[in-house]
Structure 1
């Protein structure tokens, strides 16, 4: 016997209204977006396309001055189909919201660069599928190293600036036949210009495999003619101590170890586990010293290392051509939008 005659559809919870996919991909919607997307919105689309996934906390670090303004703007971008969001499962507490590029954002990005959206290589299924990727924590953690640098550079009294940030995917497209770093960065502070590759070790990779990458970095240096420091971040001091032994042995086995400057750090080496600019980097083959250098002071660890110049720094022009149109890496620092656009 039916005890509750209320129609089933009235028992459903409220669903937030969002335009259907057909509307979000219509010419009318894209024309409407052209009037509503700010310079910061377009820059954020480029950042998500380049680095795949950023958390709400990381987006605040790189583009906003407060959480409320960020949440309001990200909610609009989500409803407009510019970005998509998900929240991974967590046994205790909750993760922040994770954001990826959505269809309308990808179309705007392609049109802005004068290419057909199909040439962009964008896949909505792939981007949303990152929610289930086993590499999600690794990707977000590595991105956190760079967003922490942008947060530091955006402070009123900042002395440094992140001048370049390449994703692992971009590094792989350029040098994947030799080695694929987890990222490439370039930091400028107090007249010093420092560039580096980063290996973000999450504690799951065998140390022998991590150490084996040094031979490939030596080959990369021989191929490009550019000597670039390799910074290895590890989750704990114990992991770092064990890795340093393996890395030292691998470095000694190289024909030209000077072509591969390597320094290590761990999440325990500084107050902020992800602050790369802090004095946390220790040269691998310096077994006697206990001192650690800041990011801007890396040249002091290798006095013979030449500072990068316009002709020797890694740039898109120094890399092999890609099989598809290659977008220029977005500038890591947000654009100087008027205050009215930063609400």
Structure 2
């Protein structure tokens, strides 16, 4: 006999459909943006969500915990040899159902499966994925001054869906300051790949420029200034051998060049590959270094639809919201 039938899980929890329907009155516009960010970029940490969308880490933790309780987000913590890692957030089943409903498609059309979403916890590319997210997060959250803004941030997976038959950048962005806008591809280097392999990617970008007739700069971000010196030599050797080198504008920067008080990739840390001197420029100033670069309008770009990218990418920052619910 069951002494207290009301405590059965089937009676305590609403049906899955009812639970998803209840999310309609629980999710704010910022919540929906967070779900789209997890779908687009696969994984974000509590610290990254805090920087992008919340006024304090306590507010972020509280709301993320609520979204986890709703089944909208799932989380994991990678093992560390010392201390504890922050919570890492991925899209949950209820969150995927919400996004699919908004797009008028089935969940499987999003390419979502719970086991695949959490598989990144064991991926050898987790550090690289988080590094790219951290790079764009820093750019998005430090771009408010001087009439600057990150207008677009597309993930590696979206880039692969669009250009994967030719090249696979780690991300695409559009950065604007004043009347100047710059489209760019990001190559994010952790220092674990042979520089010859990194530099060889220029052949792929050259083919993309040739077939698309669009000239887009490629930005190489490396961990140290010492590695940047070696990277520039390897890149220059490949670049000068291209059929049309000017169709592949290249610039480099190193993470350890950032000022601790202003750790933004928009700062004066960039050095075009063709620069003869050592004077570095801001991200927006790179546009004037390459006269053949295809002009980018100071508006948000819309990617072409593909069967691998059903949803349009979310904006780099969430919609304005009152309070920290």
**TM-score, normalised relative to structure 2:** 0.91
Please state if 1:237 is matched with 2:225: yes
Structure 1 contact 168–183 (Cα < 8 Å) conserved: yes
**Please, which moves more after superposition, 324-333 or 201-210?**
324-333
* Distance (Å, rounded) in 1 between the aligned partners of 2:120 and 2:263: 22
Assess, with a 3 A threshold, how the Cα gap between structure 1 residues 112 and 23 changes in structure 2: closer, same or farther: farther
Pairing partner for 1:129 from 104, 119, 124 = 119
1:248 aligns with 2:221: no
Q: Relative to 1, partners in 2 of residues 1:25 and 1:91: Cα closer, same or farther, differing over 3 Å?
A: farther
Instruction: Note if 1:88 corresponds to 2:78.
Output: yes
Task: Summarize the Cα distance change of 1:255–1:283 in structure 2 as closer, same or farther, 3 Å threshold.
Answer: same
Secondary structure (helix, strand or coil) at the match of 1:100 reads: strand
Kept after mapping to 1: 8 A contact 2:72/2:91? yes
Number of aligned positions between the proteins: 315
Return the structure number with greater relative CO, CA threshold 8 A, min gap 6: 2
**Are 1:64 and 2:54 counterparts?**
yes
* Aligned-partner Cα distance in 2 for 1:25–1:214: 52
SS of 1:104's partner is helix
For residues 221-232 of structure 1, the aligned pairs below 5 Å read: 221-232=209-220
| Structure 2 equivalent of residue 3 of structure 1 | none
Deviation at 1:92, TM superposition (A): 2.0
Structure 1 partner of 2:43:
53
Residue 333 of structure 1 aligns with which residue? 317
Contact preservation (8 Å) 1:61, 1:150: no
Secondary structure in structure 2 of the residue aligned to 1:174:
helix
| TM superposition shift of 1:268 | 1.3
The answer to which of 227-236 and 22-31 deviates more is 22-31
**Unmatched 5+ stretches in structure 1:** 1-18
Question: TM (normalized to structure 1)?
Answer: 0.87
**Counterpart for residue 283 of structure 1:** 272
User: Are the counterparts in 2 of residues 84 and 102 from structure 1 also a CA contact under 8 Å?
Assistant: yes
Q: Which residue of 2 aligns with 1:300?
A: 288
Contact 2:76 2:87 in 1 (8 A): yes
Superposed CA RMSD in Å reads 2.1
**Partner Cα distance (1:167, 1:69) in 2:** 26
2:302 and 2:205 map into 1 onto residues whose CA distance is 17
